Amino acid sequence: MASPAIPSTARMPAPVDDRPLAEAVTIVRIILAIEKRHVTVKDAKRALLKSHDGEWHHTSKYGNRTHYYDPGAAIALLRGGN
């Protein structure tokens, strides 16, 4: 089964920018799909959680915390780096 094509007009943020988990999972999967590597959502989440450095930001007037993840670190981990 072929992977869905990514339109040439698609603009993805740089993988080194920290992102909330759902956004980071999408970035990890798209970057690796471009390299013809299939990564499941579960594997992408696992790599992001493993490489998480503890960064978080307040995301509301109530001081809710949103953890931010580095897609670049997760991609390196999934490519075989440490």
Residue 2 lies in a domain: no
Counting the structural domains of the chain, the total is 1
Residue 3 lies in a domain: no
Residue 36 lies in a domain: yes
Q: Identify residue 13 by its one-letter amino acid code.
A: P
pTM, two decimals, is 0.71
Residue-wise pLDDT for 3-46, tens only, equals: 555 555 555 544 456 788 999 999 999 999 999 999 999 999 99
Residue-wise pLDDT for 51-62, tens only, equals: 988 888 888 888
